[in-house]
Structure 1
Amino acid sequence: MNMQYSVEKADEIYAVAKEAYFYAYPLVSMDMTMRQVTNVPDAASVNMRAPINQFAHVRSYPQADDKDVVRFNFDTLYSFAWLDLSQEPIMLSVPDTQGRYYLLPMLDMWTDVFTVVGSRTTGTKAGTYAIVSTGWNGKLPEGITPIVAPTPTLWILGRTQTNGQSDYANVHKVQDGYKLTPLSQWGKDYTPPTNVPTDPTIDNTTSPQIQVNKLDGVTMLTRLADLMVKHPPHPNDYPILFRLKRFGVEPGKPFDAKSLDPETIAIINKAAQDALAELPAAMRKAGAFINGWNIGTENMGTYGTSYKRRAFVALAGLGCNLPEDAVYPTAFVDGEGNPLSGANKYVLHFEKGQTPPANAFWSITMYDKDGFQVPNPINRFAIGSYDKLTFNADGSLDIYVQAESPGKDQETNWLPAPKGPFEPSMRLYSPRPEVLDLTWAPPPFQKVS
């Protein structure tokens, strides 16, 4: 190391560079994801992908052996849309869902949920909203509610309640009622464009996460600086922006990585490697641990200046909900602290009146150690309040979690497990206050002989 680099200076550069990596990771991940999933000619060409300003609808649950998406949701069908507001506002229309639960959270490019259209917030009647960029001051049609987006690009990650495969047709009608219309086309017979030009230089096959994780620290800073030209930081980010100036990174200004000396570049790249390596462990330590469940309700969906938390949530899976909309406790161990394994049999016992308190509905989904659904003879990947569960005579409820059938008389309450390690997730939609303040928690997995 050059003699001018004291240990103190190197440590300071390393600390700022690591924080910068956490800060940049969600924004760069969102941009990489947006570029890939919108790089298609039309909404029907590739599942879960659509051109900008168009919805892509997931029409069915994955098959047992499908490994395209980790920790897939078996309670709702997704509707995705990436919006570009740089030219004009986009009108969002939603249908009357006839009381059916739905959720259309909108995320800015920093992954913060800035508003939610859906059952909890706007009800289930039909409605129209104008999504406008910050600073836009044009005229909207009379009676239209404006939604101001913090960044000109945003992501709608919609979910519509689905009560099993027999409910698909009903859900598809709701999905088809989600409409996006440019303001200039409002009131006209608008059809979303097809044969949209695509960019052949974009890698459409390698997952965005893998692509982002391969970027070195200096490249991340370069991407960060480029993206901040279009997507302004949050107002409370000024302390980290001040620290980033030492590397020449400032919002709205070009960044020249060549201005950095070799020693600084080496430290920045080492800090980035270490920062990425820290994220999985940080994710597992976050949240409250009760009865073997990891319950995350604090700083989720919006993160303030908790940049490391925002980064590990982006690594785990973009699109985290606000806790008021959904909470996803995940279990890794049983009530005695031992890792969950299909080599054992377990019971989840809910006392009378203590089933998951959700205003909409709840479920428990089984995943193997890699986050995929588990093939089983009854083709059941989740169990929940929408099922015809059998309660005990005293009003309590037992869910049987094991690899083999507990017997025909108990299969209504059976959540099949793999033969090896597993990591199930509970989902509570529109959770009640006792979930959010942790006065209620799921019961432990009790191993039975």
Structure 2
Amino acid sequence: MNNSNSNINININSSINDTANGSVHGAQGEELAEIAVEAYTYLFPLALMDVTRRVTTNVPAGAKPGFGPANLFTHLRSFPPGNFKEVVRPNFDTLYSILWFDLRAEPVVISAPDTQGRYYMLPMLDMWTDVFAVVGSRTTGTQAGHYALVGPGWSGDLPAGLERIEAPTPIGWIIGRTQTNGPADYASVNALQDGFLATPLSQWPGPAKTPAPALDPSVAMGTAPLDQVLAMAGADFFAYGAELMGTHPPHLVDQPILARMARLGVKPGQPFLAAELDADAAAAVAAAPAAALAHFREVEPRLNPVVNGWGMARSGIGVYGTNYLFRAVIAKIGLGANLPEDAIYPVAYRDGDGVIPNGSNNYVLHFDADALPPADAFWSLTMYDGEGFPVPNNLERYAIGDRSPLRYNDDGSLDLYIQHSDPGEDRRANWLPSPQGPIGVTMRLYGPRPAVLDGGWSPPPLVRA
């Protein structure tokens, strides 16, 4: 774990007490306040995953891209438009294939086509947001394969030809990505997406019947899942989390936090009886959401080391162990993070002068010939506004990278031009248009090489022209 993450854990008590002491008094009250914030932090990803699942699976098959019943892949067939506002930092490198799997009735077979060497990955997340398996180019290769996802406690036999993958929780999320080289590549990628299949074991080898969701009118479809979780009162949140833990078992290493949570009455699978809490405990529960969320905001800028103005998570992401604070903050700012070995996303927090990047300035991003972005698959640079959304431009160009027709310098080095106005014909191929105002420049490295993971390589600074 990097040093910044260790600092996050060391500094937790000060901000917890600063926020909670207004409602909780005395030694017992202070300890209960700390436990309540730790419990909220621990349960936050689980609650957010489940609300996200309830919203995105509460839609008939084919009604909305990225939404649909459990155990059915749903695909995004094109890049988002320039005015896209549904999620922050949308991807302009790959097309998504998304599945919520539900193994409570039986295992589900995940099938991947032969992608003919094309990069893809199917990271599989449990309900605690840990990536427990990845099918794809880096791990299993690009040949066709069939993988039986098996839930906790299932002990049956599998047919020959299926590779068994044990899921830690009976429900989980697959956020698949397939390399897409621009709009002209959509037809080829869409054909591959049709080869990603989920088949209940009883229907194997298929074809699988299209599941029909039992639509739940109580689900708040018009409110973003994150906003729903953030709006929960403490007692409601802990009741929800305790119930979810009855379905999705905590990890084996979680005994210490579970023991502390039990002192507050939060136990896996048991009703949380808020009405029976004493005054100190009730105050701790009520104050926990605000205190925890304030702590999330406080530590977010310190999550990752910043080099040359770029922040990037090289380790500790995707699988979190007992670093529950890091896990919760990552879930809040970007639910569904990958393993760093699969993809790393450096973000430019500052330019070379230590100033927040702004579209009113012209920047050059210069890579020496021997320091081009080291990625085994591909890399890109994407432009967003200060809130993480694309902004329409006349070229409809929102990302450039090694698959773009870039012009390299005679010595093999590369200059990328980041600015609002057209830099002219000689530089246009290397131009990433920026909007006016604060900008969010994000690099993506798919299949990052060891130099990225071990800190030997970082993006160069954005230099004002």
Indicate whether 1:367 and 2:384 are aligned: yes
1:321-372 CA distance string (max 9 Å, x none): 0000000010121011011001110000000121110000000111101110
In the TM superposition, 1:239-388 aligns within 5 A as: 239-388=256-405
1:230-277 CA distance string (max 9 Å, x none): 000001110000101111112232321212124322222223202112
The root-mean-square deviation of aligned C-alpha atoms, in Å, is 1.3
Task: Pick the aligned partner of 1:116 from 134, 137, 151.
Answer: 134
Matches of 2:99 and 2:200, distance apart in 1: 13
Matches of 1:403 and 1:7, distance apart in 2: 56
1:411-436 CA distance string (max 9 Å, x none): 10001111110111110001000000
Aligned twin of 2:84: 66
The code of the aligned residue for 1:231 comes to H
The code of the aligned residue for 1:11 comes to E
Aligned twin of 1:40: 59
Aligned twin of 2:17: none
Task: Pick the aligned partner of 1:20 from 39, 45, 52.
Answer: 39
1:119-166 CA distance string (max 9 Å, x none): 000000000010001221111111211000000001001000000000
The code of the aligned residue for 2:449 comes to R
Aligned twin of 1:31: 50
1:299-322 CA distance string (max 9 Å, x none): 100101111110111101211000
Matches of 2:288 and 2:218, distance apart in 1: 29
Matches of 1:81 and 1:250, distance apart in 2: 29
In the TM superposition, 1:165-176 aligns within 5 A as: 165-176=183-194
Query: Where in structure 1 are there 5+ consecutive unaligned residues?
Result: none
Matches of 2:350 and 2:176, distance apart in 1: 31
Matches of 2:36 and 2:227, distance apart in 1: 21
Aligned twin of 1:225: 242
Matched residue SS, 1:424: strand
Cα pair 2:45 2:327 within 8 Å, conserved: yes
Indicate whether 1:148 and 2:205 are aligned: no
Matches of 2:95 and 2:79, distance apart in 1: 7
Matches of 1:251 and 1:278, distance apart in 2: 25
Matches of 1:205 and 1:172, distance apart in 2: 29
Indicate whether 1:213 and 2:230 are aligned: yes
In the TM superposition, 1:90-109 aligns within 5 A as: 90-109=108-127
Matched residue SS, 2:286: helix
The code of the aligned residue for 1:25 comes to F
Task: Pick the aligned partner of 1:185 from 164, 189, 203.
Answer: 203
Using structure 1 for the length normalisation, give the TM-score: 0.97
Matches of 1:424 and 1:279, distance apart in 2: 23
Matches of 2:25 and 2:417, distance apart in 1: 60
Cα pair 2:32 2:280 within 8 Å, conserved: no
Cα pair 1:374 1:416 within 8 Å, conserved: no
Using structure 2 for the length normalisation, give the TM-score: 0.93
Indicate whether 1:139 and 2:139 are aligned: no
Aligned twin of 1:413: 430
Cα pair 1:287 1:298 within 8 Å, conserved: no
The code of the aligned residue for 2:201 comes to L
Q: Quote the offset at 1:205 in angstroms.
A: 1.4
Matches of 1:71 and 1:256, distance apart in 2: 40
Matches of 1:447 and 1:392, distance apart in 2: 19
Indicate whether 1:128 and 2:140 are aligned: no
Change (3 A) 1:64 1:267: same
Aligned twin of 2:30: 11
Indicate whether 1:158 and 2:176 are aligned: yes
The code of the aligned residue for 1:8 comes to A
Cα pair 1:382 1:415 within 8 Å, conserved: yes
The code of the aligned residue for 1:406 comes to P
Matched residue SS, 2:189: helix
Of 207-216 and 184-193, more deviation after overlay is shown by 184-193
Cα pair 2:398 2:433 within 8 Å, conserved: yes
Aligned twin of 1:78: 96
Of 342-351 and 262-271, more deviation after overlay is shown by 262-271
Matches of 1:283 and 1:361, distance apart in 2: 28
Q: Quote the offset at 1:6 in angstroms.
A: 5.5
Query: Where in structure 2 are there 5+ consecutive unaligned residues?
Result: 1-19
Change (3 A) 1:400 1:229: same
Aligned length: 443
Matched residue SS, 2:250: coil
The code of the aligned residue for 1:434 comes to A
Cα pair 1:32 1:208 within 8 Å, conserved: yes
The code of the aligned residue for 1:429 comes to Y
The code of the aligned residue for 1:41 comes to P
Cα pair 1:332 1:422 within 8 Å, conserved: no
Task: Pick the aligned partner of 1:52 from 70, 90, 110.
Answer: 70
